[in-house]
Chains A and B, each alone.
Chain A
């Protein structure tokens, strides 16, 4: 049989189970689009390649399976860069396939030519520049393996146009190799020292993160934590891996963690660092992080072990399977003394919530939404104060319920990622919490949302500012407010209607009942809610300070 490079590429993607591709066509990838025309894979036309790549991220983050995005050469490829870097830092398996000028023109500053391979080297897990059509048969399957193996990450495949159009005659399609399971196996000699550490500890704490989610380890974590009564503190990327209403749940740790959580971590004598990388947002000043504790670090990426903090004991492996192997050896321990101390801290250093009558306080709005949407709704946030409030108070029950840009903190992440999540999960409600700053960064994707008519409610917590910047200027730059207040505020409700999305403003009392109504209906909707401009996310650990040196969020005894 005879196929051209583009057809081979599309067929290989089909063979890997891809059913949706987000992208934008251009000169250098038209042959790929022509092959896509004849395929069963459905295509989502975004309005900016960054949007396309975030749509792919939304699919990948919400399902755990790799997702594909397309862009043309030159500006198409450069527009992907932010989203690829975002995927790298949060370990998201996306595969970006870019068109490139014909091989003979590479290096000549041809029309819409950039060194896509070179540009994406530092921000991808791996990159391929396809040199010959035969390479496609090895590159595409390898790309899927690399994207999903161990610590997931983005892979970039740059395909010159001449290879897309070149025709190859061959006998049969390659057999896809069954990948060996990612399971780690611990033998008894490895298990014993760990079990000993845990049994001997008086004040153990679990410090868990994104790795738990990538490893699908929530069930295993639950059994492990409950059996030995070990409280669980999570990072931003770990939210959802442990039920937020459980007695052992300590919530978010780090820069905006609850006072009691950061103080308890400081008291701990054994930190079980599972699927985490000791990122500065979670640890604060890392040399002052958990100074009294032994650290047991279990992590699939070997390079993260002892990168920022020396561990007393470490295992490189898949946390989900390791927890399964470990739990049978762990004793049932009630740990009454430690649990009581934890309860005392929760009472003495509680997380201060706003008055419930303050209906339009962003925290109360977020909680109101949580009470009016199904438990399995997907919550997507943009970046900023609204993101931190959502992380602090939203009652996540399941992993992959929260999609948020943690490592790169990319404003503009929200809307397109919500589109991807809704595409991959059509029977669920998707909520996108955004800010007036973030929403404008990928606002053009409202057009994509209108095209697809997805079940997404975009809720803009509007304070007319770059909120987190304003907060930092207030707290650390002597209130030198510059470039943090928007001079004029667009009318987002009108803009949404212009894109063909129903919308409204909710500002007056009783307005929240309208919100409940909107949330109960299917379909896209944009809701703009003005909030007080001077709210701060508290407590806050100043950048560079120890987690115990939190500002604000203190409980004043009545």
Chain B
């Protein structure tokens, strides 16, 4: 599904407590807008994948370059073709199994 307003940046990162801070801190101090974030471990747990929902604007190029500079970020890739319904329905994560 395509959504031209927003891109998903996929990061493969070293898995340790500080990594999230590095990534989100980058957005905060450069005043880039971060619309959504999902993260989970991969494989044996030494690395994780982070998915960032980011508005497609003039800063995209800088964001990618700055993310690449982070020592704990191993891979960066940009996706404009993704299932945007996931980010719009995050509350379904906690939906109760039974009704009533």
Chain A positions near chain B (C-beta within 8 angstroms): 117-118, 121-122, 125-127, 129, 131, 146, 301-303, 306-307
Contacts and interface: CB of A to CB of B under 8 A. Distances in A.
Closest 6 CB pairs of A and B: A303-B65, A126-B71, A122-B29, A121-B25, A303-B66, A302-B65
A277 B17 CA distance: 32
B62 interface: yes
Interface in B1-44: 16-18, 21-22, 25, 28-29
B18 A127 contact: yes
B97 interface: no
A146 B61 contact: no
Contacts of A126: 71
Contacts of A302: 65, 68-69
Nearest to A126: B71
Given A126-B71, A146-B71, A121 B65 contact: no
B25 A122 contact: yes
Contacts of B16: 131
A288 to B, nearest CB: 19
Interface string B37-74: 00000000000000000000000011001101101000
Nearest to B17: A129
A56 B35 CA distance: 40
25 contacts: A117-B18, A117-B21, A118-B21, A121-B18, A121-B21, A121-B22, A121-B25, A122-B25, A122-B28, A122-B29, A125-B71, A126-B71, A127-B18, A129-B17, A129-B18, A131-B16, A146-B71, A302-B65, A302-B69, A303-B62, A303-B65, A303-B66, A303-B68, A306-B61, A307-B62
A131 B61 CA distance: 34
A117 B72 CA distance: 14
Nearest to B72: A126
Which one of A117, A146, A303 has the highest number of Cβ atoms from chain B below 10 Å of its Cβ? A303
Interface string B64-100: 0110110100000000000000000000000000000
Nearest to A145: B71
A303 B62 CA distance: 6
A547 B29 CA distance: 28
Given A121-B25, A122-B25, A122-B29, A303 B18 contact: no
Contacts of A129: 17-18
Nearest to B64: A303
A302 B71 CA distance: 14
A144 to B, nearest CB: 13
A129 B17 CA distance: 10
A183 B22 CA distance: 29
Nearest to B63: A303
B55 to A, nearest CB: 19
Contacts of B68: 302-303
A89 to B, nearest CB: 13
